Amino acid sequence: MGAAGSRVERVLAGDVPALAQLMRDLDDGLPAGRDDLRTLYPHTGRAFVVGITGSPGVGKSTVVDGLITRYRAAGRRVGVVAIDPSSPFSGGAILGDRIRMQRHATDAGVFIRSLATRGQVGGLTRSTADLVAVLDAAGYAVILVETVGVGQAEIDVVTTTDAAVVITAPGLGDEVQALKAGILEIADVLVVNKADREGADRAMKDLSTMLDLRRQSALPSVPLLSVVATTGQGMDALRSAIDGVQARPAEARGARRRQQAEAQLLAVVTDITRAALQAGVAGDKAAATGKPGSVAALVDDIAARRTDPYTAARALLSAGMLR
């Protein structure tokens, strides 16, 4: 096929310029993007989506880089969505060692896309799901979603993948260790990177103890691996561990997909509601600020304590003003 036909047909044929253009349209919130995504949706669900998360400095990008190499060696096309924690206002992004991944940029079997976390909560889950769906429809067999596991929004993104790889490294502060305890519970595979550094044994031991505690509950067991991503040590084992998640029984995979669907549905509903609320405030202001019953008037009433957010929210939802 190649460059012929509609944009949807070209994306389905794996045409890179077409999918890059569609992603830009989705970023810009253009209706054409949304329409194409809807048409593509029945063709998704084939890719295996792997979330890669961990605190800043654990070496996530290097691990992602190593996984790309291994999937490519096996002939599989790889898509990457790299989420940059960035300013909610200006969108400045962390580059750091993400540059490393760019050496795959000349490989037609690899597509890398960064996503800034500017914008509101919930929006991140939706944007990520959109990019994953486009890559999935375009035939990328494996999609890696890299995110910094520091905020609830980033954790939510990882829970909407087929497999969550949580990375840690020795030598991070106590507080970071405690943060990590939170995302440990979403892990399908647990990795200690930089295993050649001082403190790696201690980290493995600590995590092992935590996993033992977890094992006492009914949760599935979680492989714990030590790797040195910069040298490749342990990286084949990591790939195998991820394959192990993919090989889980159909029932477990189905439950996970339904969980993803529910999260996506909520993200889209939240997005629509937020857009309606903001458009309401802006529109009312443009017309006549504070006319009774309008969204802007309700916001003014809350600010002045003439009403409370709960009563106002019920009023908006009952009047069908947020859809």
Contact positions with its own copies (CB under 8 A) in 3-62: 34, 37-38, 41-45, 56-57
Shortest distance, position 169 Cβ to its own copies, whole Å = 12
Interface pick for its own copies out of 29, 96, 232, 293 (rule CB under 8 A): 96
Residue 266 in contact with its own copies, rule: CB under 8 A: yes
Q: Site for its own copies (CB under 8 A): which residue of 9, 185, 196, 236?
A: 185
CA 223 to each of CA 165, 188, 220, 248: distance values in angstroms, whole numbers, following the listed order:
10, 7, 10, 14
For residues 13 and 96, what is the distance between their CA atoms, to the nearest angstrom? Answer: 33
Site for its own copies in 192-251 (CB under 8 A): none
Among 20, 94, 141, 224, the residue binding its own copies under the rule CB under 8 A is 94
User: Which of 257, 279, 283, 293 lies at the binding interface for its own copies (CB under 8 A)?
Assistant: 257
What span, in angstroms and rounded, lies between the C-alpha atoms of 306 and 284?
19
User: For residues 172 and 59, is the Cβ–Cβ distance under 8 A?
Assistant: no
Let me know: does 312 contact 298? Beta carbons within 8 Å.
yes
Q: Which two tokens stand for residue 242?
A: 């991820």
Residue of 231, 51, 228, 60 whose CA lies nearest to 142: 51
Stretch that binds its own copies, among 102-110, 168-176, 231-239, 243-251 (CB under 8 A): 168-176
Distance CA 64, CA 165 (A): 10
Question: With respect to its own copies, which residue has the nearer C-beta, 19 or 93?
Answer: 93
- How far, in Å, CA of 146 to CA of 127, rounded? 14
Quick one: which segment of 67-75, 160-168, 233-241, 270-278 binds its own copies (CB under 8 A)?
A: 270-278
> Rounded to whole angstroms, how far apart are CA atoms 303 and 297?
10
Q: How many residues bind its own copies (CB under 8 A)?
A: 85
Residue from the set 182, 232, 244, 283 that interacts with its own copies by CB under 8 A: 182
Q: Which of the stretches 67-75, 187-195, 232-240, 306-314 binds its own copies when contact is defined by CB under 8 A?
A: 306-314
User: What is the per-residue binding string for its own copies in 107-126, x denoting contact by CB under 8 A?
Assistant: ----------x--xxx-x--
For its own copies, the closer CB: 93 or 110: 93
State yes or no: residue 92 binds its own copies (CB under 8 A). Answer: yes
**Interaction between residue 103 and its own copies (CB under 8 A):** no
DSSP summary character for residue 221: P
Cβ neighbours around 39 below 10 Å, total: 16
Backbone torsions φ then ψ of 111, nearest 5 degrees: -125, 120
Q: Is 73 in the site for its own copies (CB under 8 A)?
A: no
**Binding residue for its own copies (CB under 8 A) from 179, 211, 224, 237?**
179
Q: Looking at beta carbons only, is 292 or 320 nearer to its own copies?
A: 320
Helix (H), strand (E) at residue 51: strand 48-54
Distance CA 232, CA 39 (A): 40
Are residues 118 and 86 in contact, defined by beta-carbon separation less than 8 angstroms? yes
Check if the beta carbon of residue 180 is closer than 8 Å to that of residue 174: no
Query: Contact region for its own copies (CB under 8 A) — 22-30, 91-99, 190-198, 236-244?
Result: 91-99
Strand partners, 167: 191
CB of 236 to its own copies, least distance (A): 28
Shortest Cβ 31–its own copies spacing (Å): 11
